[in-house]
Copies of this chain bind each other. A is one copy, B any other.
Amino acid sequence: MRTEPRAGLAHVPPPPVSRQISVRAHELAPRIGELEANLHMIEEAIRDAAKAGVQMLVLPELATSGYYLRVDEAKRCALPADDPVFGKWASLLDPGMVLVLGFCERDGDTLFNSAAVITQAGVIAVYRKTHLWDEEQSIFEPGSAPAPIVQTPLGNLGVLICYDLEFPEMPRGLALRGAEIIAVSTNWPTVSRPEGEHPPEVIQAMAAARSSRVAIVCCDRAGTERGNLWTQGSSVINGDGWLSGKRDGDRLDATITIAPGRTQIGPRNDSINDRRPAIYVPSGNVSQG
């Protein structure tokens, strides 16, 4: 079914060719609980990206509903993963174009904080957020399946949502399973940081990208919502761990390069193959700080 990731746990071999991919993170400002207005805003963002020749468009977490939802608002905005609107959006994409967006998903009576991966062929994967932040736990069920690796026309795409990224296991696991690009739909509330520093979540993304030589595209939110200021920390990070791209208002456009052999980081070193999993320790929840 569409509500389960299509890709399994097996390693997905990436295409053995170098590619340059035009990506965009578009920081929308959905209106809380106003489904129709939000769907319209998403449609406009898709049309705008297609017109600009963007190959991968990433939109924020819960773009269809807003974030600081009451339960009744979440229910009112929730969409099943086979809702016709996804087909409509698919029809607006150029051939080879990939769209990742967060949406409030309904499956029977259960709600999920989900992300859909959409091409001209329709919804090719749905991922349900694994790690729920704070009040999300009152509204959504956490996902029960690993984050997907999706074979797209652009390469192997992994998908995460917001807080997922703060668990180093998540981007690393996707990279080990063959992800070349990780799209992160997110809503980062502003947290304090020292002068001159990137937002902490961006630092975590930069580190994750460099450790596994995987490109990461994070799309954050714009504006404020119920008094909460968003970070507007959208970031496109190449596999070398450095930020790239150019901002135009709420849109961040960049070109990422996916090169075969990019994990070969020195004449005798490879950031993946140098791993020594046999002597890494078990990963259960054991520490109580």
CB-based contact B177/A281 at 8 Å: yes
**Least CB separation from A171: chain B residue:** B168
Give Cα A271 to B101, complex, Å.
Answer: 25
Quickly give the copy total for this chain: 2
A170's nearest neighbour on chain B, judged by CB, is B280
Most B CB atoms within 10 A — which of A262, A271, A272, A279?
A: A279
- List chain B residues, Cβ under 8 A from A142: 276
Assess A287 versus B268: contact at CB under 8 Å? Given A172-B168, A281-B177.
no
With A166-B211, A180-B289, A266-B134 known as contacts, the answer to whether A173 contacts B13 (CB < 8 A) is: no
Residue numbers in B under 8 Å from A268 (CB-CB): 134-135, 137
Say what secondary structure dominates the interface of chain A. loop
Asked if B279 and A130 sit within 8 Å, CB to CB, the answer is yes
CB contact between A266 and one of B133, B206, B242, B285 (< 8 Å): that residue: B133
Residues in B neighbouring A137, C-beta threshold 8 A: 268
A280 touches B203 (CB 8 A): no
Whether B168 lies near A168 (C-beta < 8 A) is yes
Query: When A177-B281, A266-B134, A281-B177 are in contact, do A272 and B287 touch as well, CB less than 8 Å?
Result: yes
- CB contacts under 8 Å to B, within A4-39, are 9, 11, 13-14
Measured CB to CB, the closest approach of chain B to A97, in angstroms, equals 24
Contact B274 A203 (CB under 8 A): no
- B287 and A175 contact, CB distance less than 8 A: yes
Q: A167-B275, A277-B285 are in contact. List 8 more A-B contacts (CB 8 A).
A: A11-B286, A168-B207, A173-B281, A177-B281, A200-B241, A263-B287, A273-B285, A283-B283
What are 24 inter-chain pairs, A to B, with CB distance below 8 A? A11-B287, A14-B288, A145-B279, A146-B279, A163-B274, A168-B169, A168-B208, A169-B277, A170-B280, A173-B283, A175-B287, A176-B285, A176-B286, A176-B287, A180-B289, A194-B243, A196-B196, A200-B240, A200-B241, A204-B207, A204-B210, A204-B211, A207-B207, A275-B285
